[in-house]
Amino acid sequence: MNKPGITALTTITLLVPLALQAQTDRSWTADQRAIVDLIQRTQVSNNAGDVEAWVALFADDAVYMAPGAPAVTTRRGLREVAAAGFRHRADIAIDPVEIVVTGPWAYARTRVGGTVTVHPTGEVVAVDVKQIVIYRRTESGAWRIARLISNSND
Amino acid sequence: MGERGLDTGATGRREQWIAAVNAADADRYAGLVAEDVVWFPPGGEALRGRAAFKRWLMPFVGSFDYDMALTPSGGAEAADWAWETGTFRSTMRPVGGGPAQQHEGRYFVLWRREDDGVWRIDRYVDGVGEAEP
């Protein structure tokens, strides 16, 4: 690797922890931090194309509402949507804009940005989406996605 | 708290919402949203605040007659907020004549009961597309 390459890698390596630190510096409550963790796992499972990890983030009776597509209301449907969607390679970031918790319910407003490399053409498509996600606390205390609805900024 | 559909003060506000849209009454419509509302129009950046919402609304209200219907499919209430999802169908007829435009899709609305006891729309997002719940 040439020196500019090393410099770029070093810069990125330094910036990533700084970005994460900035995110954790916000004064989230324990519930909000749990939801931030869920958002981060949503991002990781999307980028890894991990169907089961993604589906596990949803409550059993969740409804997933993507624009221009039928609502998904079953775990089987979630697996099918994920299996189809994850053929394309995502490189996205999901940033929480706000998280509000009230009893067993919470909602988050998030912004999704990045790119998706379309299978099989290799076309790279920009992603600029805004979402509202409703979360429900399960009996075990874990938060799960109950409703997810989004639309595009483009 | 139930999750099948709202049966709260927010339910009555939903009917006022539909009526305001179908009457093309921008002031009544804007009065249904919170001062700090965040509204997610499809294909555009989030609108923040009642004033921004009303500015976005005005060109539509002045140019079209609306026939909007909402079909709620689920929701829940907790303390001073309530959320609801469902489907919408709307027909927009140009005031000056011309072909009508039809839209359908899903919506999510978050109502908040404010300090004056009135429920107002706090967050809203819709997605045009398949309308089944």
Average pLDDT for B45-73? 93
AA letter at A23? Q
What is the reported pLDDT for A142?
Answer: 96
Tell me how many residue pairs between chain A and chain B have CB atoms under 8 A apart.
Answer: 79
Residues of chain A positioned with their CB less than 8 A from the CB of B125: 130-132, 149-151
* Mean pLDDT, chain B, whole residue set: 88
What is the reported pLDDT for A40?
Answer: 97
- By the 8 A CB rule, do A60 and A77 touch? no
Judged against a pLDDT cut of 70, whether residue B37 lies above it is answered with: yes
H and E: helices and strands count for chain B: 3, 6
CA A119 to chain centre: 20
Residues of chain B positioned with their CB less than 8 A from the CB of A147: 74, 83, 85, 108
What is the DSSP secondary structure assignment for residue A72, as one 8-state letter? B
Residues of chain A positioned with their CB less than 8 A from the CB of B76: 105
Place of tokens 């949203």: B33
Q: Can you tell me the distance from the alpha carbon of B29 to that of B7, in angstroms, rounded to the nearest whole number?
A: 21
User: Where residue B52 falls among pLDDT bands split at 50, 70, 90?
Assistant: very high
Residues of chain B positioned with their CB less than 8 A from the CB of A134: 83, 108
Query: Which residue among B81, B110, B132 sits closest to A71, beta carbon to beta carbon?
Result: B132
3 state SS of A30: helix
AA letter at A39? I
Main-chain dihedrals φ then ψ at residue B116, nearest 5 degrees: -85, 5
User: Where residue B19 falls among pLDDT bands split at 50, 70, 90?
Assistant: very high
Which residue stretches of chain A have pLDDT < 50?
Answer: 1-22
User: Where residue B49 falls among pLDDT bands split at 50, 70, 90?
Assistant: very high
Q: Report the predicted TM-score, pTM, of the whole model to 2 decimal places.
A: 0.84
Main-chain dihedrals φ then ψ at residue B129, nearest 5 degrees: 155, -145
User: Where residue B67 falls among pLDDT bands split at 50, 70, 90?
Assistant: very high
**Pick among B4, B108, B111, B130 to test the A interface (most A CBs inside 10 A):** B108
- By the 8 A CB rule, do A149 and A72 touch? no
Q: Can you tell me the distance from the alpha carbon of B30 to that of A92, in angstroms, rounded to the nearest whole number?
A: 35
Query: Which residue among A63, A71, A130 sits closest to B40, beta carbon to beta carbon?
Result: A130
What is the reported pLDDT for B7?
Answer: 63
Average pLDDT for B100-108? 92
- By the 8 A CB rule, do B21 and B66 touch? yes
CA quadruple B49, B53, A153, B81: dihedral sign? positive
Pairing between strand B81-94 and B64-78? antiparallel
Q: Can you tell me the distance from the alpha carbon of A123 to that of A2, in angstroms, rounded to the nearest whole number?
A: 29
3 state SS of A88: coil
What is the reported pLDDT for A24?
Answer: 52
Q: Looking at A31-45, A55-69, B3-17, B43-57, which range is the least confident one?
A: B3-17
